[in-house]
């Protein structure tokens, strides 16, 4: 379907917005009136620029406070509307959005509103313009799309139809199924926005927190399904008011926006992407630095076997069972170690790569020799390199033999990578959620807030349905932005966390220091026996329990921007020890600041 984006979604001047929308692959834009009013270009020049860029101007908006008013007031409305219709002729735009009255309505009567829309429709038709009437969620009298449709039906004018905006409908919890009772030809425009589940007044929610489809909590695929069953065949248009997107790079936001529609057309079935199964697990993680020596030591303590050096690159491989870590010193710009790449195991790397390409994920190139495996790779919004490898039911991935000169692995205590935790800059968090869910097909769990020394940290887990592949995204606190980067971590899974911790301590690992108060609290909450508590305190283990099982885990010290965790899940425990995150973050804060 044709795609469009409201200029209000983007940062910068009107011409910058148009260029970014065109570059991102949109077919058209909604001209948001304040953008035009603030622009030095004449309407004719804007129209010419749009035409040069291959963009249509699909909608002019908003026209406010038009109906439900006194006759005296309505005369002023008509005068204002005529000026806008002439402006629209100069722009070459034929549809104007009319929002339900917020400020000047004094008459709560559908017949009166319908009559005024009909007369406005006559005036519009005389200028070759159509009116798309939209119920704002906070309209004075009309705040429900079903009432807006009733008024349009009463107006019964060929130039008067409705505009459906997913935000106004879903934020109020109105059932979108009744959309199907509207004839498609009367749906003059469709605006799409997602939003996080928040408890606040709808106006503030709408003006500051809208998100692109796939980034929030609304079921936009179901919503779009209802609209398409009416026969609507106009553009899918994004209208996202969001303070972050209005401040950040316009090209990047436009690309993100376009990706959200590609994703939506896939889940709604109107334009399916190459279908990919969810990742079955992790192929590898890669730590990169000029010198990863300290990380090599830590991996040895955790029981990893050094498998050798890469035959053509300055990289070393460590494995323990199916858990594989590459320490890469090749072209490393960062002095301190960072988690640079994550390899996912997918059923078909070429299909997953085709899907990523369709979603316009930026490609990552690495020099690969002719006889080496070439894994497709894409850059996530935060720069993390995402590799797509073949699922290996067997222990070693196909690229492992490229490393030589190390040792043969023995019996393993680790059973794989449980999850990877990636810190996100605050401004690209939502984009990252969309990236991982759309490109890899991971599902986003409900977001959480984790108490930390720097305040509540936003956290969101994305996972495969089977749970064999999980990533956790956390907002990186501001103080880290100029520093080496907020630490990220890899959690390894084991069936015997005490044995892994004992082995690590015997090899010189110093567990992250957890205070006695934590263990006293564990006794109070769970009544664990003394000997178990003593073992946990000695090894720095943390514990959590839910209705279906329990969870024991520990953390290593942080080296630069990386640390590791080892976890043991028992029964059906499916979480990540979230109640312990604050304790862990405080311990890391102490270690970092040596207090
Ligand atoms: O917030 C507003 O006023 C506003 C304006 C136009 C729209 O289409 C909308 O959904 C909201
Ligand atoms: Mg709208």
We report the CATH number of the domain holding residue 199 as: 3.20.20.150
Residue 224 CA to ligand 2 center (angstroms) comes to 15
Question: Ligand 1: which of 7, 99, 191, 206 to mutate, most ligand atoms within 8 Å of CB?
Answer: 99
154-208 tens-digit pLDDT: 999 999 999 999 999 999 999 999 999 999 999 999 999 999 999 999 999 999 9
Residue 221 CA to ligand 1 center (angstroms) comes to 22
85, two tokens: 């219709």
pLDDT over 80 at 367, yes or no: no
Residues of each annotated binding site for Mg(2+): 419, 489, 565
**Residue that finishes a domain, picked among 235, 268, 301:** 268
Helix H, strand E, coil C: the string for 85-123 is: HHHHHHHCCCEEEEECCCCCCCCCCHHHHHHHHHHHHHH
One domain for residues 527 and 394: yes
- The reported pLDDT for the residue numbered 564 is 97
Which atom of ligand 1 is least distant from the CA of 6? 8
536, two tokens: 């946990």
**Protein residue with its CA nearest to atom 6 in ligand 1:** 62
What mean pLDDT comes out for the span 420-436? 94
Can you give the CATH number for the domain in which 371 is found? 3.10.180.10
**Residue that finishes a domain, picked among 214, 237, 268:** 268
Residue 240 CA to ligand 1 center (angstroms) comes to 9
Residue found by looking up tokens 């073949």 in the block: 390
Is 520 part of a structural domain of the chain?
yes
Is 276 part of a structural domain of the chain?
no
One domain for residues 36 and 166: yes
Residues of each annotated binding site for a divalent metal cation: 134, 165, 191, 239
Which atom of ligand 1 is least distant from the CA of 203? 1
Question: Ligand 1: which of 206, 218, 240 to mutate, most ligand atoms within 8 Å of CB?
Answer: 206
Residue found by looking up tokens 């004719």 in the block: 44
Handedness of CA 389, 395, 401, 407 (dihedral sign): positive
430-453 tens-digit pLDDT: 999 999 999 999 999 988 888 777
One domain for residues 20 and 168: yes
Q: Count other C-beta atoms under 10 Å from residue 20's C-beta.
A: 26
- Provide CB contacts within 8 A for 41, sequence distance 6+: 14, 15, 49
One domain for residues 404 and 447: yes
Position with higher pLDDT, 41 vs 456:
41
Q: Count other C-beta atoms under 10 Å from residue 510's C-beta.
A: 12
Please report which helix (H) or strand (E) contains residue 520, including its range: helix 516-526
Which atom of ligand 1 is least distant from the CA of 61? 6
- The reported pLDDT for the residue numbered 580 is 94
Residues of each annotated binding site: 134, 165, 191, 239, 419, 489, 565
Helices (H) and strands (E) in the chain, counts: 17, 25
**Residue that finishes a domain, picked among 268, 293, 327:** 268
Instruction: Please tell me which of 183-187, 508-512, 554-558 the model is most confident about, judged by mean pLDDT.
Output: 183-187
Round to whole Å and give the CA distance between 132 and 124: 11
Closest ligand to C-alpha of residue 8 is: 1
Q: 99 and 134 in contact (C-beta within 8 Å)?
A: yes
Q: 480 and 560 in contact (C-beta within 8 Å)?
A: no
DSSP state of 184: G
Q: How confident is the model at residue 484 (pLDDT cuts 50, 70, 90)?
A: very low
Residue 509 CA to ligand 1 center (angstroms) comes to 57
The answer to which of 76-85, 188-197, 211-220, 420-429 has the lowest mean pLDDT is 420-429
Round to whole Å and give the CA distance between 369 and 350: 19
- Provide CB contacts within 8 A for 443, sequence distance 6+: 278, 437, 462, 463, 464, 465
What mean pLDDT comes out for the span 536-548? 96
Q: Which of 207, 217, 220 is nearest to 261 (CA)?
A: 220
Is 540 part of a structural domain of the chain?
yes
Question: Ligand 1: which of 241, 242, 243, 246 to mutate, most ligand atoms within 8 Å of CB?
Answer: 241
One domain for residues 22 and 116: yes
Is 314 part of a structural domain of the chain?
yes
Round to whole Å and give the CA distance between 56 and 237: 12
Question: Ligand 1: which of 35, 65, 96, 134 to mutate, most ligand atoms within 8 Å of CB?
Answer: 134
589, two tokens: 């804060």
Residues with CB under 6 A from ligand 1: 61-62, 97, 99, 134, 136, 165, 191, 206-207, 239
Q: How confident is the model at residue 482 (pLDDT cuts 50, 70, 90)?
A: very low
Average predicted confidence (pLDDT) for the chain = 94
- The reported pLDDT for the residue numbered 32 is 98
121-132 tens-digit pLDDT: 999 999 999 999
Residue 6 CA to ligand 1 center (angstroms) comes to 11
- The reported pLDDT for the residue numbered 480 is 53
Query: Which ranges of 310-401 would DSSP assign to H, the alpha helix?
Result: 349-358
One domain for residues 377 and 239: no
One domain for residues 242 and 164: yes
ipTM over the 0.95 cut-off: yes
Question: Ligand 1: which of 7, 144, 239 to mutate, most ligand atoms within 8 Å of CB?
Answer: 239
Round to whole Å and give the CA distance between 100 and 65: 6
Residue 220 CA to ligand 1 center (angstroms) comes to 18
Round to whole Å and give the CA distance between 417 and 323: 6
Which atom of ligand 1 is least distant from the CA of 168? 10
Is 501 part of a structural domain of the chain?
yes
One domain for residues 235 and 286: no
Which atom of ligand 1 is least distant from the CA of 167? 10
Is 273 part of a structural domain of the chain?
no
**Protein residue with its CA nearest to atom 8 in ligand 1:** 62
The neighbouring-strand residues paired with 547 are none
Which atom of ligand 1 is least distant from the CA of 241? 1
Residue 216 CA to ligand 1 center (angstroms) comes to 19
Residue 50 CA to ligand 2 center (angstroms) comes to 22
Residue 168 CA to ligand 2 center (angstroms) comes to 7
Q: 436 and 442 in contact (C-beta within 8 Å)?
A: yes
Is 274 part of a structural domain of the chain?
no
One domain for residues 364 and 314: yes
Kindly give the pairing relationship between strand 315-320 and strand 323-328. antiparallel
One domain for residues 110 and 199: yes
DSSP state of 578: G
Residue ranges making up the domain that contains 346: 281-594
Helix H, strand E, coil C: the string for 330-342 is: CCCCCCCCEEEEE
Distances (CA, A) of 132 to 76, 95, 123, 193, 206: 20, 7, 14, 17, 19
Helix H, strand E, coil C: the string for 130-161 is: EEEEECCCCCCCCCCHHHHHHHHHHHCCCCEE
105, two tokens: 């309505």
SS3 content of the chain, % helix, strand, coil (to 5): 35, 25, 35
38, two tokens: 């603030």
301, two tokens: 């303590």
The answer to which of 289-303, 393-407, 488-502 has the lowest mean pLDDT is 393-407
Round to whole Å and give the CA distance between 585 and 477: 12
Question: How far from chain centre, in Å, is Cα 334?
Answer: 26
Q: Count other C-beta atoms under 10 Å from residue 363's C-beta.
A: 12
One domain for residues 499 and 551: yes
The CA angle 258-96-218, to the nearest 5 degrees, is 40
Round to whole Å and give the CA distance between 333 and 383: 13
What mean pLDDT comes out for the span 27-51? 98
Q: How confident is the model at residue 483 (pLDDT cuts 50, 70, 90)?
A: very low
One domain for residues 249 and 394: no
The structural domain count of the chain equals: 2
What mean pLDDT comes out for the span 323-337? 87
Please count the residues of the chain. 595
Handedness of CA 200, 202, 208, 209 (dihedral sign): positive
Residue 62 CA to ligand 1 center (angstroms) comes to 7
Round to whole Å and give the CA distance between 221 and 226: 9
- The reported pLDDT for the residue numbered 395 is 57
- The reported pLDDT for the residue numbered 398 is 83
**Protein residue with its CA nearest to atom 9 in ligand 1:** 136
Closest ligand to C-alpha of residue 238 is: 2
Closest ligand to C-alpha of residue 241 is: 1
pLDDT over 70 at 471, yes or no: yes
Which atom of ligand 1 is least distant from the CA of 62? 6
110-150 tens-digit pLDDT: 999 999 999 999 999 999 999 999 999 999 999 999 999 99
Phi and psi based region of residue 10 (left: phi greater than 0; alpha: psi -120 to 50; beta: remaining): beta
Which atom of ligand 1 is least distant from the CA of 163? 8
Position with higher pLDDT, 254 vs 455:
254
Is 275 part of a structural domain of the chain?
no
Residue 136 CA to ligand 1 center (angstroms) comes to 7
The answer to which of 276-285, 401-410, 477-486, 568-577 has the lowest mean pLDDT is 477-486
Half-sphere exposure (Cβ direction) of 113: Cα atoms closer than 13 Å = 30
Q: Count other C-beta atoms under 10 Å from residue 507's C-beta.
A: 13
């Amino acid at each position: 379907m044709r795609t469009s984006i409201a200029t209000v979604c983007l940062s910068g001047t009107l011409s910058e917005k148009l260029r970014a929308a065109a570059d991102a692959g949109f077919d058209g834009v909604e001209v948001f009136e304040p953008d035009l009013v603030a622009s030095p270009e004449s309407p004719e020049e804007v129209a010419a620029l749009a035409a040069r860029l291959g963009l249509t101007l699909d909608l002019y908006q908003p026209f406010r406070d038009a109906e439900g008013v006194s006759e005296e007031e309505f005369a002023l409305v008509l005068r204002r509307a005529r000026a806008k219709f002439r402006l629209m002729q100069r722009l070459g735009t034929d549809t104007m959005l009319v929002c339900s009255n917020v400020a000047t309505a004094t008459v709560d009567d559908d017949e009166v509103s319908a009559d005024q829309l009909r007369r406005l429709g006559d005036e519009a038709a005389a200028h070759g313009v159509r009116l798309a009437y939209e119920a704002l969620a906070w309209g004075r009298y009309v705040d429900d799309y079903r009432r807006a449709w009733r008024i349009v039906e009463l107006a019964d004018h060929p130039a008067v139809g409705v505009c459906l905006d997913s935000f106004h409908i879903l934020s109020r919890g109105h059932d979108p199924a009744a959309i199907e009772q509207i004839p498609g030809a009367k749906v003059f425009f469709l605006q799409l926005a997602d939003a996080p589940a928040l408890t606040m007044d709808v106006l503030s929610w709408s003006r500051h927190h809208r998100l692109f489809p796939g980034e929030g909590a609304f079921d936009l695929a179901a919503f779009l399904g209802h609209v398409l069953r009416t026969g609507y065949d106009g553009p899918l248009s994004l209208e996202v008011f969001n303070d972050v997107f209005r401040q950040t790079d316009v090209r990047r936001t436009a690309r993100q926006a376009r990706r959200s529609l590609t994703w939506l057309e896939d889940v709604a079935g109107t334009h399916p992407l190459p279908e990919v199964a969810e990742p079955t697990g992790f192929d590898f993680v890669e730590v990169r630095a000029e010198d990863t020596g300290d990380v090599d030591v830590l991996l040895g303590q955790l029981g990893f076997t050094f498998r050798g050096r890469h035959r053509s690159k300055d990289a070393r491989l460590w494995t323990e069972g199916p858990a594989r870590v590459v320490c890469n010193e090749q072209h490393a710009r960062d002095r301190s170690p960072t988690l640079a790449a994550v390899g996912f195991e997918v059923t078909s790397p070429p299909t997953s790569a085709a899907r990523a390409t369709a979603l316009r994920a930026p490609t990552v190139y690495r020099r690969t020799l002719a006889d080496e495996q070439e894994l497709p790779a894409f850059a996530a919004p935060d720069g993390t390199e995402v590799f797509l490898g073949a699922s290996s039911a067997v222990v070693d991935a196909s690229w492992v033999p490229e490393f030589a000169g190390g040792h043969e692995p023995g019996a393993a205590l680790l059973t794989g990578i449980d999850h990877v935790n990636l810190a996100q800059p605050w401004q690209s968090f939502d984009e990252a959620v969309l990236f991982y869910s759309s490109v890899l097909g991971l599902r986003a769990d409900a977001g959480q807030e984790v108490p930390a020394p720097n305040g509540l940290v936003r956290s969101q887990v994305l996972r495969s349905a089977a749970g064999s592949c999980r990533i956790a995204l956390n907002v990186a606190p501001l103080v880290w932005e100029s520093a080496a980067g907020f630490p990220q971590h890899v959690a390894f899974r084991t069936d015997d966390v005490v044995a892994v911790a004992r082995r690590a301590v015997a090899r010189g690992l110093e567990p992250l220091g957890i205070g006695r108060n934590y263990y006293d609290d564990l006794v109070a909450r769970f009544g664990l026996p003394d000997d178990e508590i003593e073992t946990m305190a000695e090894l720095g283990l943390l514990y959590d329990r839910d209705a279906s099982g329990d969870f024991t885990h520990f953390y290593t010290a942080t080296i630069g921007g990386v640390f590791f965790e080892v976890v043991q899940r028992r029964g059906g425990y499916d979480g990540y020890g979230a109640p312990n995150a604050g304790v862990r973050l405080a311990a890391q804060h102490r270690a970092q600041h040596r207090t």
